[in-house]
Amino acid sequence: MVSIDEVARAAGVSSATVSRALSGRGHVSPATRQKVLQVADELGYVVSSAASSLASGRTRNIGVMLPDLHRWFFSTVLTGISEELSRRGYDLTLYNVTDDAQVRQEIFSSFLRRRRVDGLIVVAMELDADEIDQLTGLGIPVLTLGGSNPRLPGRAIDDHGVAHLAVEHLLRLGHRRIGRIGAEASFNRDFHVPARRENGFRDALAEAGLSADRQLCVTADFTVEGGHRAAKSVLGRSTSAPTAVVAFSDEMAIGALLAARDLGLEVPGDVSVIGIDGHDLGPLFGLTTVDQHPLGQGGRAAREILELIEGTEALPTDDADADLPYDLVVRSSTSAPRIESVSAPH
């Protein structure tokens, strides 16, 4: 490996000047900084992480805790975090916190205490009091994403508002028999996301003078396959089938689109379908959705944890719902119903 002394000799400056030029700390003229950067690049010099850590007291490494690596939403958030950290010259250490209680305890009690990270982003995981105590005891910034906590700074989406907007869109089109593909009870473990979306779904109907029809409300597991099975059980009825379906994730909504196709139903003529997320496959399927910008969520979380590390921002630790943006994206999977003639609400 090329040493800092070799870069200094080639650039005709001192090793201290090279260190200041590469780190951005301390005074170095623009011309000298540019020369050092050019020489370092030509020689293939890479900053030693160990030496940099000793000098700065930082590892330039951010920890990310995730409950599930297999679901599209989490992997997309992780991509957003990783891309932003890479741009800022930081590494990423991933902690996959599974349902195994022993693994979870080991991560909190052992892995994190090795102090190999400068900060930690906790994605969509509700922490108990003991876990929060352990995190705050590390002496590093901790940011939650996907849920708020009164003791930790964080960012969250307004899940009630997201579902409310989806139903509101269908109501404005004139739909009255609206089905729902929600989530099974086990998914309410962290921050009660399905329950909040359920409340948004029901409140939007109530504001239009309607109530949720239990026969039109089914649950699944946030997967395409689960959405397909759930949608078939509702759309396959010869009578009292819904003219529109709200799915609490885009993957389940895509499953509903496939179920409609299997049943010979035309979308959106026979049934409109709307999802929530902003999935990459949404445009391919013409899926109307409420986009919560997961890639952007990850990038924002990365920027904000670095701001906390550098002391340039202090995030509030109170309820952070509605901090993260979401938008209705209308595509070809929704339209006015053929059957119903009731005018849309104003």
Residue 25 has pLDDT above 70, yes or no: no
pLDDT > 90 fraction of the chain, expressed in percent and rounded: 54
In which residue ranges of the chain is CATH 1.10.260.40 found? 4-47
In which residue ranges of the chain is CATH 3.40.50.2300 found? 61-155+296-320, 159-287+331-342
pLDDT in tens, 235-253: 988 678 999 999 999 999 9
Topology of domain 159-287+331-342 in CATH is Rossmann fold (3.40.50)
Residue 157 has pLDDT above 60, yes or no: yes
String of b and e for 302-320 (b: at least 16 CB within 10 Å)?
bbbbbbbbeeeeebeeeeb
Most confident listed range (57-66, 70-79, 134-143): 70-79
pLDDT in tens, 159-206: 999 999 999 999 999 999 999 999 987 776 766 889 999 999 999 999
Residue 346 has pLDDT above 50, yes or no: no
pLDDT at 343: 40
Q: Tell me how far apart the alpha carbons of residues 129 and 108 are, in angstroms, rounded to a whole number.
A: 12
* DSSP per position, 133-179: HHHHTTTS-EEEESS-BTTB-EE---HHHHHHHHHHHHHHHT--SEE
Check: CB of residue 285 under 8 Å from CB of residue 254. Answer: yes
pLDDT > 70 fraction of the chain, expressed in percent and rounded: 88
pLDDT at 50: 47
pLDDT at 5: 87
Which of 198 and 23 is assigned the larger pLDDT?
Answer: 198
Task: For the chain, give the mean pLDDT.
Answer: 86
What the block records as the tokens of 104 is 């979870």
- Of 108-122, 213-227, 273-287, the poorest mean pLDDT is in 108-122
Class assignment of domain 4-47?
mainly alpha
pLDDT at 109: 76
Residue 342 has pLDDT above 50, yes or no: no
pTM of the predicted protein model: 0.79
pLDDT at 134: 86
Residues in the chain: 346
Topology of domain 61-155+296-320 in CATH is Rossmann fold (3.40.50)
Which of 135 and 114 is assigned the larger pLDDT?
Answer: 135
**How many angstroms separate the Cα of 33 from the Cα of each of 10, 39, 272?**
13, 10, 59
DSSP-derived pairing of the beta strands 217-220 and 244-247:
unpaired
